[in-house]
């Protein structure tokens, strides 16, 4: 039989005149438009590896929900131990790769000793992260219980853990936030972005979120880096906890890390589409109605609706 496709030429690159293109791209990478950190970093953390790692951590935290449903009392601890050992080894390598980007630009030193120091730092971070897993699990259980108590449509804890995007997003966030706090911000940001891709919920790993947190429906929720959220807070879809303005230094460059996102105190409910901007405080027990645009603090037990608001 004859193929319906024409035979490829002996040298595929010849028909595209790729030689000059390849050379121009090399010149762009290595000289004209060089963006490589410190001029030498080529290893990047792997999104695929991080997805595998988060799946492993989830399985260790909740073995029958995210691991193997047929585990028994005799086998479950062996499963958790083996899963954690494999997953933490993988995590340490990804932490090391992320730490390569925490070395200040232009910081020249002995590459071999620097690499050894980063590898040890990655192991230390991973060990501290492993020690925090019981506390992370306790927070996640409080989140699941808040979802079950707060949603009349929920029929079981298993349904919440397997079907609710808000639960998946907060699971990723609890893990990412701990890595961020321990000194692995680049890796934490990648984990947060994977969660955003999976759920449509964008939570910066620097955001501090208290226990019993519930995001109902969830699509379009955005929580900024310096947001602080208290306990028993509930958000609905398309809520933004964002920055009102971005201060710059004398040269015009944005000043990074300054507190610029809201503080939401305990027992607050924020309904769908609300936009809360700036370093303002939503007092404990308050309710913020749907589609409200809020740029000023409100006292405890406030009830804010769209008709009451005005722009500054």
Specify the pTM. 0.87
**Strand (E) or helix (H) holding 266:** none
- Positive or negative, the CA dihedral 3, 7, 8, 11 is positive
Q: How confident is the model at residue 308 (pLDDT cuts 50, 70, 90)?
A: low
pLDDT 10s digits, 241-252: 999 987 788 888
**Average pLDDT of span 282-309:** 92
Q: How far apart are CA 300 and CA 287, in angstroms?
A: 9
Q: Give how far Cα 219 sits from Cα of 228, 269, 271, Å.
A: 20, 16, 13
Spans of all domains in the chain: 44-201, 220-312
Quick check: 256 pLDDT over 90? no
Is residue 306 scored above 80 in pLDDT?
yes
Q: State the Cα–Cα distance between residues 139 and 24, nearest whole angstrom.
A: 52
Q: Which fold has domain 220-312?
A: UDP N-Acetylglucosamine Acyltransferase; domain 1 (2.160.10)
The top-level CATH class assigned to 44-201 is mainly alpha
Q: How many whole angstroms separate alpha carbon 97 and alpha carbon 43?
A: 6
Helix (H, G, I), strand (E, B) or coil at 109: coil
Question: What are the Cα distances from residue 13, in Å, to 4, 19, 26, 274?
Answer: 22, 8, 16, 54
């Amino acid at each position: 039989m004859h193929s319906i496709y024409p035979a490829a030429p002996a040298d595929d690159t010849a028909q595209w005149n790729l030689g000059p293109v390849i050379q121009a791209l090399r010149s762009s990478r290595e000289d004209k438009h060089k963006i490589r950190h410190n001029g030498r970093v080529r290893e990047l953390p792997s999104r695929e590896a991080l997805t595998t790692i988060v799946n492993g951590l989830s399985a260790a935290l909740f073995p029958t929900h995210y691991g193997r449903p047929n585990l028994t009392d005799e086998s479950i601890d062996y499963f958790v131990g083996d899963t954690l050992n494999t997953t933490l080894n993988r995590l340490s390598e990804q932490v090391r790769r992320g730490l390569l980007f925490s070395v200040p630009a232009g910081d020249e030193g002995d590459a071999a000793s620097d690499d050894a120091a980063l590898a040890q730092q990655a192991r230390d971070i991973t060990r501290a992260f492993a020690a925090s897993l019981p506390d992370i699990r306790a927070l996640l259980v409080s989140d699941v219980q808040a979802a079950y108590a707060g949603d009349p449509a929920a029929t079981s804890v298993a349904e919440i853990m397997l079907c609710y995007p808000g639960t998946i997003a907060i699971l990723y966030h609890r893990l990412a936030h701990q890595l961020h706090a321990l000194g692995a911000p680049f890796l934490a940001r990648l984990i947060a972005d994977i969660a955003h891709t999976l759920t449509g919920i964008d939570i910066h790993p620097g955001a501090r979120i208290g226990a019993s947190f519930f995001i109902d429906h969830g699509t379009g929720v955005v929580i900024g880096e310096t947001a602080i959220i208290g306990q028993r807070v509930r958000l609905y879809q398309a809520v933004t906890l964002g920055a009102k303005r971005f201060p710059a230094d004398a040269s015009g460059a944005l000043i990074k890390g300054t507190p610029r996102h809201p503080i939401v105190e305990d027992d607050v409910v924020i309904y769908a589409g609300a936009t809360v901007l700036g370093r303002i405080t939503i007092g404990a027990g308050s309710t913020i109605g749907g589609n409200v645009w809020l740029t000023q603090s409100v006292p405890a037990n406030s009830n804010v609706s769209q008709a009451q608001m005005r722009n500054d």
